[in-house]
């Protein structure tokens, strides 16, 4: 169990904005001016408490890192590897699941900046005949409003057998899209938010078509190299996490059954929707850079931050989630759930404070809900103690209906 505060920060002051209520037909209003300098000081002891709770609830290990204008807070509890008993630490790499979607969206928005792609053009304009409806636009795909069915609902209906059936498989993106198209669309294009991995498989296909390169090359050249992300890799169809890493432990559906070490897999079922590997440091660097406007033009960042209601305190932009915290602060980033790993990666509006947190288990909703509280500790500080335990998340909150912005 470790905890460290590196360099004393100058985080001062507190702003407790009242909770903003959302009209049913639109994304809740964004908290104004939630810049890092106005936030309450991050609560390291609270963060450690959250991680310890995750351990009690079944996570073998958990860790979190907060970066705030040169100050780094790090804490970790439990193990990276249940066999060897090695302690988990923030230097461990891990699978980030759908936080990958933010990377994929950034690549596409850079292509918009380069005038190679139009957000409101039909996907079929770039990938002729791929989708059965010409009305599905790039924007619909990036904001989960295409209506394309999420093929992983069927794939992982039964958790461990579903995972073992695809652990070593290599799919083409088209095969994944075809799995989705066997099912009816969930909504007319643009009508509502309905989370689907299919959207970001299509996004990856757009990247490859428009650049003539693999998504791996584009992540590398456009994000990983410019930001010097030393722990971030796209190894698909490789199955191993390079270097020092946390093992990921999948929780079976049957209560009491032994955890399954799910570390090694192709993640081919997700690819550009969820196959990246990273670390807490790299995720904080990435999200900070994104929100500071270092990865896209201001105009494209604004597009990423056009919100669609995504249920409760959540809104979705383009490959970007917004969460409105209990202290009235809005934070921006993504969550990830890939077999064995739960990730939270969020930053303040100005990108100056960021949090990345990981529990090395999955299919354990209690742990997922607990890890959500790392956001309160990181961005609301001690001010939210009374509210702890109130917030809940689950995969299905993503299925909330909303209304289009355009
Ligand atoms: S689910 C989410 C999260 N996203 C989506 C994506 C990701 N991950 C998946 O689609 C994997 C689903 C299976 C995960 C598996 C487990 O817990 O390891 N669960 C089962 O097999 C259940 N039967 C919306 C939570 C996101 O936050 O965006 O990552």
Among 361, 154, 156, 155, CA closest to 260:
361
Extract long-range pairs of 228-232: CB within 8 Å, 24+ residues apart.
Answer: 228/285, 229/278, 229/282, 229/285, 229/286, 230/282, 231/93, 231/277, 231/278, 231/279, 231/281, 231/282, 232/276, 232/277, 232/278, 232/279, 232/282, 232/286
Residue 191: CB partners within 8 Å, gap ≥ 6? 145, 147, 403, 404
Pocket residues for ligand 1 (CB within 6 Å)? 97-98, 152, 156, 159, 162, 195, 197, 250, 274, 335-339, 362-363, 395, 398
pLDDT score, position 32: 56
Find the 353 Cα to ligand 1 centroid distance in Å. 26
> 111-125: per-residue pLDDT in tens?
999 999 999 999 999
On whether the CB atoms of residues 377 and 388 are closer than 8 A, the answer is no
Q: Does 348 qualify as catalytic in the annotation?
A: no
Evaluate if residue 301 carries a pLDDT over 70.
Answer: yes
Across 9-13, 37-41, 152-156, the highest mean pLDDT is recorded for: 152-156
Q: Give the DSSP letter of residue 378.
A: H
Indicate the top mutation candidate among 338, 364, 366, 396 to test ligand 1's pocket, ranked by most ligand atoms within 8 A of CB.
338
Average pLDDT of the residues of the chain: 90
Do residues 344 and 374 lie in contact, with contact meaning Cβ atoms separated by under 8 Å?
yes
- CA–CA distance, 103 with 98 (Å, rounded to integer): 9
Give pLDDT tens digits for 150-198.
Answer: 999 999 999 999 999 999 999 999 999 999 999 999 999 999 999 999 9
Contacts 24+ apart (CB under 8 A), 119-123: 119/303, 119/318, 120/406, 123/202, 123/206
Q: Summarize the confidence of residues 197-201 as an average pLDDT.
A: 99
SS3 content of the chain, % helix, strand, coil (to 5): 35, 15, 50
Q: Ligand 1, atom 19: nearest CA belongs to which residue?
A: 363
Residue 284 CA to residue 373 CA, distance in Å, equals 17
The secondary element (H helix, E strand) that includes residue 62 is strand 61-68
Cα separations in angstroms, 382 against 14, 15, 42, 156: 10, 12, 8, 38
Q: What is the mean pLDDT of residues 288-310?
A: 98
Q: What is the pLDDT of residues 230-286, one digit of tens each?
A: 999 999 999 999 999 999 999 999 999 999 999 999 999 999 999 999 999 999 999
Percent of the chain whose predicted confidence (pLDDT) is above 70: 86
Chain-centre distance of CA 67, in angstroms?
17
Say if residue 378's pLDDT is above 70. yes
Mutate to test the pocket of ligand 1, among 163, 268, 337, 366 (most ligand atoms within 8 A of CB): 337
Q: State the DSSP string of 256-270.
A: TPPPEE--S---TTT
Ligand 1 centroid to residue 200 C-alpha, Å: 14
Q: What is the pLDDT of residue 317?
A: 98
* Sign of the dihedral defined by the CA atoms of residues 393, 399, 400, 404, in that order: positive
Residue tagged active-site, from 84, 98, 122, 196 = 98
What are the C-alpha distances in Å from 368 to residues 270, 286, 336? 20, 22, 10
What pLDDT does 31 receive?
Answer: 67
């Amino acid at each position: 169990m470790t905890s460290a505060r590196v360099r004393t920060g100058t985080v001062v002051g507190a702003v407790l904005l009242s909770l903003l209520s959302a009209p049913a037909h639109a994304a809740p209003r964004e908290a104004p001016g939630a810049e890092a300098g106005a936030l309450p000081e991050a609560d390291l002891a609270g963060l450690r408490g959250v991680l310890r709770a995750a351990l009690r609830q079944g996570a073998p290990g958990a860790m979190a890192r907060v970066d705030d204008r040169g100050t780094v807070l790090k804490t970790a509890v439990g193990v990276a590897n249940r066999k060897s008993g090695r302690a988990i630490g923030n230097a461990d790499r891990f699978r980030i699941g759908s936080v990958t979607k933010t990377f994929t969206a950034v690549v596409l928005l850079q292509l918009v900046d380069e005038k190679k792609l139009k957000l409101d053009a039909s996907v079929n304009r770039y990938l002729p005949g791929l989708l059965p409806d010409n009305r599905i636009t790039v924007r619909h795909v990036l904001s989960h409003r295409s209506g394309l069915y999420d093929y992983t609902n069927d794939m992982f209906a039964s958790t461990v057998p579903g995972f073992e059936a695809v652990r070593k498989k290599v799919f083409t993106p088209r095969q994944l899209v075809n799995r989705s198209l066997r099912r009816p669309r969930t909504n007319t294009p643009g009508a509502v938010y309905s989370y689907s991995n299919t959207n970001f498989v299509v996004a990856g296909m757009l990247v490859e078509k428009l650049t003539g390169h693999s998504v791996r090359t584009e992540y590398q050249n456009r994000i990983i190299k410019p930001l010097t992300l030393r722990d971030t890799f796209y190894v698909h169809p490789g199955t191993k996490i390079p270097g020092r890493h946390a093992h990921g432990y999948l929780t079976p559906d049957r209560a009491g059954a032994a955890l399954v070490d799910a570390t090694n897999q192709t993640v081919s079922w997700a690819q550009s929707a969820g196959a990246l590997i990273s670390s807490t440091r790299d995720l904080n660097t990435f999200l900070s850079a994104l929100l500071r406007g270092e990865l896209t033009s201001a105009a494209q960042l604004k597009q990423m931050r056009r919100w669609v209601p995504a249920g409760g305190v959540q809104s979705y932009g383009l490959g970007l989630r917004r969460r409105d915290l209990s202290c009235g602060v809005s934070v921006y980033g993504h969550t990830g759930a890939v077999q064995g790993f739960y990730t939270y990666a969020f930053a303040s509006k100005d990108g100056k404070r960021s949090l990345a947190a990981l529990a090395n288990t999955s299919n354990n909703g209690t742990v997922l809900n607990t890890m959500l509280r790392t956001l309160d500790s990181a961005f609301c500080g001690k001010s939210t103690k009374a509210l702890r335990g109130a917030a809940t998340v689950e995969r299905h909150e993503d299925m909330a209906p909303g209304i289009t912005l355009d």
